[in-house]
Structure 1
Amino acid sequence: MTALVIAEHDNATIKGATLNTVTAAAQCGGDVHVLVAGHNAGEAAKAAAQIAGVSKVIHAEGEHFAHGLAENIAAQVLALAGSYSHILFPATASGKNVAPRVAAKLDVGQISDVTKIDSADTFERPIYAGNAIATVQSLDDKKVITVRTTGFDPAAAAGGAAAIEAATAVADSGKSHFEGNEIAKNDRPELTAAKIIVSGGRALGSSEKFNEVMTPLADKLGAALGASRAAVDAGYAPNDWQVGQTGKIVAPQLYIAAGISGAIQHLAGMKDSKVIVAINKDPEAPIFSVADYGLEADLFTAIPELIKAL
């Protein structure tokens, strides 16, 4: 029984979500192989070979893999699928784009957003925005799985010594092509990888107040900035800051929620955080039900005082 992890990378380095997925793959039993499909991706393959617990890296090289187009990556996975019992993807935008194509072509059911491996054929995943956990058993010969990365500790990025094997690259499918991208530049840590996150909600009232109140706290803590969907929809914060069921799923060491009531959709995205601090003047706010520390106070008073204390 061997598992194949589909690596996310930028052709030079391996992205953090891959490390969590390797941990999940190891718990399925058997060896763990990693596929690095990219363009001039030799450095990424070398980085994958150093991940603890990986026994082999398969490197597929081709210009049509440069931007991770789902049609081409899926075709490469399918070309290798015969040798594997489990095929695992991080439950990221990229993984969720490729995995269903692979599952459909293999005629198997996809097991999505897995947070725990009970056995080689039994998995746990959240449903109803995390209010219930479903235990799913798959009798398919091949298991196609997306892994919720917050459910697994990352494998060590160094210490491994896997062999790197060159694979024959599949041809360009011709079904899609890369036009371009616009990358938002941010000096702060990436939201899904940050150890500390400071999030603001609709109570902040405006984008000016959001920046005036939340940015100094984030600067003081070296934290990433997040926001509730209500704050994003109101234009107080950009879309890529949204935390929640329809935003990003995070699990930092410390999560500070200021002026966030705690709608179920938001809680689904952050309740796995190690320590949760809630600041809200409504004592009945649902956020207090998941908070380790709760401060019933006006955030416009409490946060400047907190910054001074830090």
Structure 2
Amino acid sequence: MSVTYVLVEQLDGRPEPVTLELITAARALGDVVAVVVGEPGTGAALAPELGQMGAAQVVTAEAAGASTRLILPSVDALHMLAANNPGPIVIAANARGNEIAGRLAARLASGVLTDVVGINADRTAHQSIFGDTIQVSAAVGGASPLYTLRPGAVDGVAQAAAGQVAPMEIPGATAKDVTITSFTQSAQSDRPELPQAKVVIAGGRGVGSEENFRTLVEPLADALGGAVGATRDAVDLGYYPGEYQVGQTGVTVSPDLYIGLGVSGAIQHTSGMQTAKKVVVINNDEDAPIFQIADLGVVGDLFEITPQLIEEINKRK
């Protein structure tokens, strides 16, 4: 069986949740080779967990200073592997992953499909396009086709494999490198990361204020163990930070449950959430477009309904 390379997403010495999704999707194409790029010793610490996820082999592509360099260490590692033993490459569809995929496609003379939502054994992939209104199957050429997988699009399923460690040295920094000189980590929330969240509570313009996000949207998210999202209008009005924006110019989510509070349903927002398995909305405008894609729609005052909903959920815990 052929090999498939997966670029491991990691944070604080642990694989991020999207890594299991990448390994699960890549399994259809061949034995999974998980590629860990970082400082010396990084890969060995991650190998046992990656093996339990389904990696037959864990390549530890390491070099001193790799953690302070952007993009190139990962591009170099995957290029070296695929040039020697060609095979498909699966990467997370985020800003970093898409740039890595583009550079690799040029180096390897292979095609690339971005933001796919599923990968098939025949090397075709599913894409959800035009604001997630049309599903297509696309094919890509080359000995090492590249796919960037939308976080949350595939349910990660662990399937234990050998996880054999294979060390590999990668080139050090050159004049082409962009190096991080300082880094301040943002405050970490106890809520799940928005792209991977199974429950998303989104607030729109109708929420009315930053304070109402704190007193209505956030408590409902916490009651359900979910993440908070916001529409572009809510972000532009300063109700919630921009990194939580859901939509065409924000994050795409595919949760099991999406609840929209005061969300009108503009295409800019719905294109980023309409693949949710269940959509519930509360809005006082019965003609709001969001009701057209809702599985359950409540026409009413969110300021009356939401506190009652939170209270009832907490009662049943």
- Where does 1:95-106 land on structure 2 (aligned, <5 Å)? 95-106=97-108
- TM-score relative to the length of structure 2: 0.90
2:223 maps to 1:220: yes
Q: Please tell me the residue identity of whatever aligns with 2:31.
A: D
SS of the aligned residue for 1:63 comes to coil
2:129 maps to 1:111: no
Distance in 1 (alpha carbons) for counterparts of 2:90 and 2:230: 30
In the other structure, the counterpart of 1:290 is 293
- Where does 1:20-99 land on structure 2 (aligned, <5 Å)? 20-28=21-29, 30-39=30-39, 40-41=41-42, 42-52=44-54, 54-67=55-68, 69-82=70-83, 83-99=85-101
CA-to-aligned-CA distance 1:158-197 (integer Å, 9 cap, x gap): 7333211111222223421012233221232222232322
Distance in 2 (alpha carbons) for counterparts of 1:147 and 1:239: 23
Is the 8 Å Cα contact of residues 68 and 181 (structure 2) preserved in structure 1?
A: no
In the other structure, the counterpart of 1:164 is 165
Is the 8 Å Cα contact of residues 90 and 148 (structure 1) preserved in structure 2?
A: yes
Distance in 2 (alpha carbons) for counterparts of 1:159 and 1:303: 42
SS of the aligned residue for 1:111 comes to strand
Distance in 1 (alpha carbons) for counterparts of 2:7 and 2:222: 35
Shift of 1:93: 2.7
Question: What's the Cα RMSD here?
Answer: 1.9
Specify whether residues 189 and 102 from structure 1 end up closer, same or farther in structure 2 by C-alpha distance, changes over 3 A only: same
Specify whether residues 125 and 67 from structure 1 end up closer, same or farther in structure 2 by C-alpha distance, changes over 3 A only: farther
2:137 maps to 1:135: yes
Distance in 2 (alpha carbons) for counterparts of 1:67 and 1:46: 25
Shift of 1:46: 3.1
Q: Please tell me the residue identity of whatever aligns with 1:153.
A: D
In the other structure, the counterpart of 1:234 is 237
Is the 8 Å Cα contact of residues 71 and 173 (structure 1) preserved in structure 2?
A: no
Is the 8 Å Cα contact of residues 228 and 244 (structure 2) preserved in structure 1?
A: yes
In the other structure, the counterpart of 1:146 is 148
Distance in 2 (alpha carbons) for counterparts of 1:160 and 1:109: 29
Instruction: For structure 1, list consecutive stretches of 5 or more residues without a partner in the other structure.
Output: none
Distance in 2 (alpha carbons) for counterparts of 1:96 and 1:208: 36
Shift of 1:11: 5.9
2:181 maps to 1:179: yes
In the other structure, the counterpart of 1:309 is 312
SS of the aligned residue for 1:269 comes to coil
Runs of 4+ aligned structure 1 residues displaced above 3 Å come to none
Distance in 2 (alpha carbons) for counterparts of 1:239 and 1:68: 26
SS of the aligned residue for 2:254 comes to coil
Distance in 2 (alpha carbons) for counterparts of 1:118 and 1:72: 28
Is the 8 Å Cα contact of residues 11 and 43 (structure 1) preserved in structure 2?
A: no
Shift of 1:289: 2.1
Distance in 2 (alpha carbons) for counterparts of 1:60 and 1:139: 26
Distance in 1 (alpha carbons) for counterparts of 2:258 and 2:242: 18
Q: Please tell me the residue identity of whatever aligns with 1:221.
A: L
Shift of 1:38: 0.9
Q: Please tell me the residue identity of whatever aligns with 1:36.
A: V
Distance in 2 (alpha carbons) for counterparts of 1:216 and 1:122: 42
SS of the aligned residue for 2:285 comes to coil
2:302 maps to 1:299: yes
Q: Identity of aligned pairs, percent?
A: 35
Specify whether residues 47 and 297 from structure 1 end up closer, same or farther in structure 2 by C-alpha distance, changes over 3 A only: same
